[in-house]
A and B are shown apart, each in its own frame.
Chain A
Amino acid sequence: MAAVEVEDLTVRYGSLTAVDSASFAAEAGLVTAVLGPNGAGKTSTIEVCEGYRSAASGSVRVLGMDPRTDQRRLSERMGVMLQDGGVYPSARVLDTVRHFCTLHARGADPRQLVAQVGLEQRTGATWRRLSGGERQRLSLALALAARPDVAFLDEPTSGVDINGRDAIRGIIRALADRGCAVVLATHELDEAERVADRIVVFDNGQVIANGTLDELRRGSGEIRFRSQAPVDVRALASETGLIAARVGADEYVIDAPPLPRVMATLTGWLAERGHDLTDLRAGAQRLEDVFRRLTADRADARAVAEGTPQLAEPRRRRRRRKSQ
């Protein structure tokens, strides 16, 4: 049984459907990243999982419990990190952590927790005097106060510097490694790519992709190259069947699997025409590209369905570039 099971979840605010028949699961010991643009339904879904919000329909089980009716019992085993706020501005770091540890039956040791998130030098500082990154660390400490079996973390590295991000990723990884199911809502694709075991992509209230990073990247290879002299992409397409798009002053991308045969065809064609390459990369697409593809495909489909072609304009431009 998964630690978090969301099945056919729908959340409405009046006439607005924020989450539309979403289904996914998060396993113990894994980090599940929930991705999506603003207003995609990530936070509403997570708030239902936390027991904070009611579902219009569908079913949500967290650690086998109904988050709404078993909220008190569930909260003993659940850690929650809000996107921002959640602390009295005049409250001090150690006091706040100690308070949240006291609220849980099997609360963590406050001093250890403060040290774990790297705030041991700031124990007496009030929330209002903390930097953005320090606030995120304190919020993370509060999410860990319960020694949780399931943790919902909303944008945990937002506003944190590079070193702080590494530290927070390390804490998240350690949390999952000790068996906690971590559900991470984030806009930062790089974050998800680095720390997540599974990825759930939301768009317009619906889950549009769900799987491991490798599963999402499958069939999404690309070859990128830079050439000092302009490349005749029409000739390339007609002579080799490789469709290249110019994406920068001297950069080109081909949506194709990075197979040796394809690479040989491309480099052979370029060599025949005397092109000097300044860069050549082949591999799976970055999560950012996968995400853009997934959400762009949906935007196109919506535009066609609604008869609003202007919404599909960026995509069409991309296609035109490819055919140049």
Chain B
Amino acid sequence: MRRLVAQIRVELLMVLRNGEQLLLTLGIPVLLLVFFSLIDVLPTGTAEPIDFLAPGVLSLAVMSTAMVSLGIGTGFERSYKVLKRLGTTPLGRGRLVAAKAASVVVVEALQFAVIAGTALALGWSPVGAVWAAGVGAVVLGTVAFAGVGLLLAGRLRGEINLAAQNALYLVLLLFGGMVVPIDELPSALQTAARTLPAASLSDILHWSLGTGSLHAASWPVLTAWALVAPTTAARLFRWE
């Protein structure tokens, strides 16, 4: 337990000391939330933009922490041989993975507190929310995105991984139903977007937090990503 706590502390310190990761996990989501809720330029389809944006930005928070932040951090740890060095200590892979998972959960909790607090202050009112479904979707989304992030981190060189994670972040932000409703995309893009974990997660969160209806494919698609992505990452991950 002492080792696990020590590793969690280090993981969190590394996130908190990294300005870029803080910008990614908190700065950009809060900026998008505040900006587009105050300036009504997005075709959100809701009376108040905040009602659409709050669940979407919560999805973005999951993606930014579980995929991009975890993936970039792990990719550089691999490049800097931190993983190799830790591999020769009694920490073990199990505790290392557990520490990373715990740090993701802590950062997500912090994000949710800040984003939900900001959204409530901007007038968000999640009436009729199905909290259990929302929590379930966040758990599945976290696992799926972590799998994608670690898959890239475990195969690509540090700098290429950084570029790939950021590019994927941008694509999923635009086509994942987080700030632009999927229904507003061209029909071919809609079909493609519905196969992505970002769209599935945001769709379920929009529904569970009281905005919009649930697409039939969302749960199966998100579950499939949560199974396939980490399994593939575990098989293909290169520690060095």
Question: Does residue B185 face the partner (Cβ distance < 8 Å to A)?
Answer: no
Shortest C-beta distance, B143 to chain A (Å), equals: 25
* Chain A, residue nearest B10 (CB): A99
Q: A103 and B85 in contact (CB under 8 A), knowing A90-B14, A91-B14, A95-B13?
A: no
Tell me if B's interface is mostly helix, strand, loop or mixed: helix
Say which size band chain B's interface belongs to.
20 to 34
Q: A75 and B3 in contact (CB under 8 A), knowing A85-B81, A90-B14?
A: no
Question: Does residue B90 face the partner (Cβ distance < 8 Å to A)?
Answer: yes
Q: A87 and B85 in contact (CB under 8 A), knowing A99-B10, A102-B3, A103-B6?
A: yes
The complex places the Cα of A91 from the Cα of B73 at a distance, in Å, of 13
Query: What 1/0 flags go to A52-77 for Cβ under 8 Å of B?
Result: 10000000000000000000100110
Give the chain A neighbours of B131 by CB distance below 8 A. none
Give the chain B neighbours of A90 by CB distance below 8 A. 14, 17-18
B10 touches A88 (CB 8 A): yes
Question: Does residue A105 face the partner (Cβ distance < 8 Å to B)?
Answer: yes
B89 touches A104 (CB 8 A): yes
Question: Does residue B213 face the partner (Cβ distance < 8 Å to A)?
Answer: no
Query: What 1/0 flags go to B48-78 for Cβ under 8 Å of A?
Result: 0000000000000000000000000000110
B13 touches A85 (CB 8 A): no
Shortest C-beta distance, B190 to chain A (Å), equals: 42
Question: Does residue A142 face the partner (Cβ distance < 8 Å to B)?
Answer: yes
Shortest C-beta distance, A124 to chain B (Å), equals: 13
B87 touches A52 (CB 8 A): yes
Query: What 1/0 flags go to A180-193 for Cβ under 8 Å of B?
Result: 00000000000000
Give the chain B neighbours of A52 by CB distance below 8 A. 84, 87-88
* Chain B, residue nearest A53 (CB): B240
A86 touches B90 (CB 8 A): no
The complex places the Cα of A95 from the Cα of B77 at a distance, in Å, of 17
The complex places the Cα of A90 from the Cα of B10 at a distance, in Å, of 11
Give the chain A neighbours of B85 by CB distance below 8 A. 80, 82, 85-87, 142
Chain B 80-97 residues near chain A, CB threshold 8 A: 80-82, 84-85, 87-92
* Chain B, residue nearest A104 (CB): B90
Shortest C-beta distance, B161 to chain A (Å), equals: 15
A-B contact pairs, 23 of them (CB 8 A): A52-B84, A52-B88, A75-B88, A84-B81, A85-B84, A85-B85, A86-B80, A88-B10, A88-B14, A88-B80, A88-B82, A89-B76, A89-B80, A90-B14, A90-B17, A91-B10, A91-B13, A95-B13, A99-B6, A103-B6, A103-B7, A104-B89, A142-B85
